Chain A
Amino acid sequence: MWNNPRSRRREEAEALAPRSIRLLRSAATPPLSRRAMLHRTGLGLGGLALTSLFHSAGRTTGAPHFPAKAKAIILLFQSGGPGQMDLFDRKPELQKRDGQKTPIAIDKFLPGNTDQLIACPFPFRHYGQCGMELSELLPNLGGLADQLCLVRSMHTGHDNHTEGTVMLNTGHFTMGRPTIGAWISYGLGTGNRNLPTYVVLRDPAGYDTAGSLAWSPGWLSAAHGGTEFSSRGVPVPNLRPPAHISAEARRDDLDFLATLNQQHRRSFPRESELEARIGNYELAARMQTSATTALDLANESPATRALYGLDDTATAGYGTRCLLARRLVESGVRFVQVYPDQQGQVWDTHNNMQRDTEKMCHQTDLPSAGLLKDLHARGLLDSTIVLWAGEFGRLPVSQNGTGRDHNKHAFSLLLAGGGFRGGQTYGETDEFGYKATVNRVSVSDLHATLLHQLGLDHTQLTAEHHGRPDSLTDAPVTGAQVVRELIAR
């Protein structure tokens, strides 16, 4: 780290200032190649979801299909699969039959599973005016119960981490499809042309098992994939020139490059893609400032820092990323994915669920709640959806004596802000919390609902794949529907 990064940044910003900003002025663009250009430049694309099969119904590029309730989504991704019956879905029958043989058939995943039911080791409490039942391990989130929409009837398609995580993000467990963040970037375009539309804040120590598949553009343009911002050091790879190249030297280089590129550009007046590429060199220079500024927490007040638990080593890492998520959303980023600390599947409580669940709740409860409070205080919560979710749930039977294995048939998640109905508990599972039974919500239903809050119709947001229109929810196959009950009226 540099001694005085801020002053150095300012110098750079000045040196990089606008001698060739004028070059960004775009030449008159002929009407039809604009479409081709937008497609390739990855600017706002909603209206360009044209295929040889469908006309768009007069959509404006990058505009929602109908008035949006929210502008952005923050996914607080609880990698590993938190146990629904331990935190969100109290099961008296499970408590009663602790240690007994399960009366229902259970799909198991890994060895070490028994048929013995295992009770939740933590007490539950009623929180808020609404009386939402949550674990005592979540006092901070519980304190916001009246703003939380708890869904207990989620189910998914795969019980392995990679596939489950890919499914939560793309709607299908096989790799290669675009994630919801990519679809949103494709559908709505950017809210800040100096920053990426879709940002990932992972633990700098490493990836979980799905890695970058969880923010993949799939077969959409690479422009729509998530960009990893490091919460330590330089935020984006290749953002800065090496030490031996000064900002002034680079400025001279870029001016020379612009001379050459402009001459070339004049030979191809109809190729607006070239113009976009010329502009990107200037944007790259501006991003040195904008990305660094967006991630600079020096001006955050002590009260704000405390809200996110930045002063406690147990919460500082995840808390920093939660705080960065707020800053990015404030700057116009549309989709932010936040990961907890530690490499691997941190909620993956195969062996010692009591110890591991306590640890993860301690790490995530305060900063998650802090983010909600901060967004609320800044008037951003109404336009920002916060989704707290893992990739699947856990089984009611014991594994290795004191753990729980993966379960794709039921899991719980929390939604807040962005027009979701607070103080609500939606859906039910069976008496052991094994399978979602009442008001079942699929991952695709969740996606349809999230897009709906952003003003996007999941059946209309399509892009061509192998020559046919495809969509995030693939509703003709998945039967995805907007879950209207989750939305505030």
Chain B
Amino acid sequence: MRPARRPFPSAIPCLLAALLLAPTVASKAAVPESAAKPALAGNAPPRGDHWAFRPLVAPPVPVVKSTARVRTSVDVFVLARLETKGLTLAPDAARAVLLRRLFFDLTGLPPGPEELTAFLADPAPDAYEKMVDRLLASSHYGERWGRHWLDAAGYADTIGTDNDVNGGKVRVGMWRYRDYVVRSLNADQPFDRFLLEQLAGDQRFAWRRDKCGQNTDREKNPDQFQPVPLTAEQKEWLIATGFLRTAVDGTNNYERNRPLERHQVLYDTVEILTSNVLGLTVQCARCHDHKYDPVTQRDYFRLLAFLTPAYNPAQWTQPQFRHVVASTPAEVETMKPFNADLDKQMNELGGRQGKIRTPHRQRLAAAKLAALPADIAAALKAAQALAADKRTAEQKNLIETTAPMTRVTDEEVTAALTPEERQADATLEQEKAALRARRREIEKLQAIWDVAEPPPTFLFKQGNYELPGAEVTPGLPAVLAGSAPLPDGPRRLALAQALTAPGSRSAALIARVQMNRLWHHHFGRGIVATPGNLGLSGAPPTHPELLEFLAAEFVRGGWKFKAMHRLIVNSTAYRQAAHATPELATQAVNIDPDNTLLWHTRLRRLESEAVRDAILTVAGRLDRRVGGPFVPLEGRPDGTVAIAKNQADPDGPRRRSLYLYARRNFNLSLLSAFDQPLVATNCTGRQSSVVVPQALALLNDPAVLEAADAFARRVLALNGSSADRLAFAFRLALCRAPSAAEATAAAALLDRHARRYADLPADDAAVRALSHLCQMLLCTNEFLYVE
């Protein structure tokens, strides 16, 4: 049986209110005592009475003893729980530790050495708060927190089940949705509006030229599906609805374009929407009323009915035909000659490169051929002279088996060039890249729209679409709907309006889900430890009043995230050290061994993207550009996935992990090793595993080794003594100076390596030796964790 839920503490007198932002609703006990009863016991109260489903009421503010430690209202709630157990907060963390924590939490990147120095030297009493403001204003904030939202939304750049490493089917223009999320968060767009745009941006204005359901025309020429000319804002509204295009949709394949798979797209979209936005798991209610939560089978199909006009299994558009062309016909026309001109120039440059490279290539090829035994070389020559379809099986086999010995790679040709030639070749390559970057692409985006008049939606008996039961109308689950009727208008627009309607139960739940997620990402664990499930089967909240307070405050402040971040990261609770004082720790370990009450900050491992982005940052290699098409990846024969060798953008490999091709199943191996999730539907909470492939990746992944070399070169470029350089390396990787013992160990290591590489030219030897040390800094637990 499940354990009894932890009782909520009784109401605490409200004396500290003056310290706090005034609650909007008259204070009364936030959560009645009745909630203390185990909800699934025989005489359970109605399940709709579950705390998460109630209207939002700002809780009374508790009284605490350690008023000196209170920086924001968050602290009062955290301290109140601690003090009931005779505990308190740990001292503040050291400033450098705090800065590193803040940088990773708000931007997903480590601070640079200059930023660290400036912050440590800033005597202003509000230096920390100023830094918070600065980071919240940084465009990297949207990248960091956009990633969290994209996880919950199930974002991927592919259409179907992602089962072929080199055959992923791209969902055209989906990346614009990723950038929309980053922009919206950077602009601190109110969450209710953010949600409305994503659910129903297409229903806010008239944009379509076609009549409903011209599917056959789309299949003939999807690029002709051009709406009326769009303003920038309207384009944004359409792109936002890519939110409802994230589900796996294999119906692009003929053999998967059947009722079974079409319905599955609907089911998955409902699952993503509910686990993300409502923090509920409803998928069991497809077949039967939910066992634990007050969600009936009828509720499930009423939710589904919001989506059937757009995903109508009887009138289906395959996903490869769903993009909208946002460029106008006139724009498309002007692009053609413009691009043709660029292509011509690039060809010309390519020709000039060929003149430099081809003689070397031919010479190298001839040398390789000459190295083969004479009879084989002769046979091979004869085989190569024939057209491919004229060759015998034997000849084909010969060409194939000798290929590794005769192939001349681009790298080999480059290495064979004279210094002057190499310079000229590189210049031409750069000019080509600059031209390529200027090419104009037809702007295609993913959006959702209703394909026809709303079809009738039926409840499926046993969840089986072949057994339709009663017809249902769209609506929120009864437990959230209250008595308010659904607003008039298109269905998804009505859904968006109903969800965040002021004072509604659904708005209360949504605010709790969002604030719990905010807490989860700042503290490593949500106030409710199951961020995708705040229902009866989820974990009970550790700080129920705090969650109510944050949710109420979020709504009161106009659903804006940045103010809530400030409230949290400026708090003493957030600024705590990762260690309590020894006396407190001895006591606390017995009272609250799992640190659920937060008597110190939790040590958190960096997420996969942050690991790679931090490595690139420390190496001085990170390309900080925001947004744009994804960076292609490719599968290697050994089963790993790497950044593709051929990149339209030569700086692609240095871009943030957010911009790598987002696969469902075949993500970059380095990221997968560090728990980049498999995106089957969506991810409301990542794993943080400790497995050997992580050690192997940090030790031997070519990208890490390359970064370690760049890191070493960066350190060597510093003017100063070897001690200065060592300190610089530690500062870059760990935001601190080495201890005396570490400096001694590092010097010894460098010395051993220097002797090992003594035969190399001095510069190479120095890089090599230091590269070992730099790589080990990247391998440390200290680097991998935020304190």
Contacts and interface: CB of A to CB of B under 8 A. Distances in A.
Interface of A: 30-33, 36, 40-42, 52-55, 109-110, 158, 160, 162-163, 166, 174-177, 196, 204, 207, 209-213, 216-219, 221-223, 227-228, 230, 233-234, 236-242, 244-246, 248-250, 252-253, 256-257, 259-261, 263-265, 267-268, 270-271, 273-274, 276-278, 280-281, 283-284, 287, 464, 466-468, 477
B163 interface: yes
Contact of A223 (B535, B689, B775, B780): B689
A239 B696 contact: yes
Interface string B1-21: 111000000000000000000
B537 A52 contact: yes
A217 B702 CA distance: 25
B626 interface: no
B533 A40 contact: no
Contact of B665 (A204, A212, A248): A212
B700 A33 contact: no
Interface string B453-479: 000000000000000000000000000
Nearest to A286: B692
Nearest to B670: A238
Given A263-B741, A283-B695, A175 B248 contact: yes
Contacts of A196: 692
B268 to A, nearest CB: 8
Interface in B656-683: 664-666, 669, 672-673, 675, 678, 680-681
A19 to B, nearest CB: 13
Interface stretch (B58-66, B405-413, B566-574, B745-753): B745-753
Nearest to A193: B692
Contact of B530 (A52, A174, A271): A52
A271 to B, nearest CB: 6
Contact of A252 (B256, B281, B752): B752
A468 B749 contact: no
A109 B257 CA distance: 11
B665 A238 contact: no
Contacts of B96: none
A52 B776 contact: no
Interface size class of B (residues with CB under 8 A): 35 or more
B704 to A, nearest CB: 9
Given A222-B691, A261-B782, 19 more contacts: A42-B691, A52-B537, A52-B539, A175-B161, A175-B163, A175-B680, A176-B680, A212-B165, A216-B678, A221-B687, A233-B638, A238-B696, A244-B768, A249-B753, A256-B773, A263-B739, A264-B781, A281-B779, A284-B692
B742 interface: yes
Contacts of B256: 160
B688 interface: yes
B699 interface: yes
A466 B278 CA distance: 12
A207 B669 CA distance: 17
Contact of A33 (B275, B593, B691, B753): B593
A212 to B, nearest CB: 6
A466 B152 CA distance: 12
B532 interface: yes
Given A175-B664, A242-B705, A257-B780, A252 B687 contact: no
Given A52-B537, A280-B694, A281-B695, A36 B638 contact: no
A264 B692 contact: no
B680 A174 contact: yes
Contacts of B268: 174
B702 A42 contact: no
A110 B255 contact: yes
B697 interface: yes
Nearest to B674: A222
Contacts of B756: 246, 248-249
- Kindly name the residue among A110, A204, A219, A227 whose own CB sees the greatest number of chain B CB atoms within 10 A: A219
B540 A280 contact: no
Interface of B: 1-3, 161-165, 248, 250, 255-256, 260, 264, 268, 275, 281, 284, 287, 292, 529-530, 532-533, 535, 537-540, 578-579, 589, 593-594, 603, 605, 637-640, 664-666, 669, 672-673, 675, 678, 680-681, 684, 687-697, 699-702, 705, 739, 741-742, 745-746, 748-749, 752-753, 756, 768, 772-773, 775-777, 779-782, 784-785
B740 to A, nearest CB: 11
A270 B537 contact: no
Nearest to B677: A219
Contacts of B741: 259, 263
Contacts of A252: 749, 752-753, 772
A30 B589 contact: yes
A119 to B, nearest CB: 26
A228 B165 CA distance: 14
A212 B691 contact: no
A263 B248 CA distance: 46
A227 B692 CA distance: 11
A212 B699 CA distance: 24
B688 A30 contact: no
A278 B779 CA distance: 10
Contacts of A177: 680
Given A31-B593, A32-B594, A41-B689, A256 B746 contact: yes
Contacts of B780: 257, 260-261, 264
B163 A211 contact: yes
Contacts of B637: 204
A277 B698 CA distance: 12
B638 A280 contact: no
Contacts of A41: 689-691
A480 B530 CA distance: 28
Contacts of A270: 589
B709 to A, nearest CB: 11
A209 B540 CA distance: 42
- Kindly name the residue among A53, A239, A276, A468 whose own CB sees the greatest number of chain B CB atoms within 10 A: A468
Top 5 closest A-B pairs, CB basis?
Answer: A176-B680, A467-B533, A467-B530, A32-B593, A467-B538
Contact of B692 (A30, A53, A211, A280): A280
29 contacts: A32-B593, A33-B593, A42-B689, A53-B2, A109-B255, A158-B260, A174-B264, A176-B681, A204-B637, A211-B163, A211-B665, A223-B691, A227-B693, A237-B693, A238-B701, A240-B700, A256-B746, A257-B776, A259-B741, A264-B780, A268-B579, A274-B781, A276-B690, A278-B781, A464-B530, A466-B530, A467-B530, A467-B532, A467-B533
Contacts of B692: 196, 280, 283-284, 287
Contacts of A36: 594
B358 to A, nearest CB: 31
A158 B263 CA distance: 14
Contacts of B684: 466
Given A212-B665, A257-B776, A257-B779, A30 B593 contact: yes
B781 A238 contact: no
A355 to B, nearest CB: 18
Contacts of B639: 212, 228, 230, 237
B745 to A, nearest CB: 5
A467 B537 contact: yes
Contact of A174 (B1, B248, B687, B688): B248
A177 B275 CA distance: 16
Contact of B702 (A218, A242, A250, A276): A242
Contacts of A158: 260
A153 to B, nearest CB: 22
A274 B665 CA distance: 28
Contact of A175 (B287, B593, B665, B752): B665
B746 A52 contact: no
B96 to A, nearest CB: 14
Nearest to A202: B639
Contact of B163 (A213, A222, A287): A213
A166 B772 CA distance: 42
Given A237-B640, A467-B537, A209 B164 contact: yes
B578 A216 contact: no
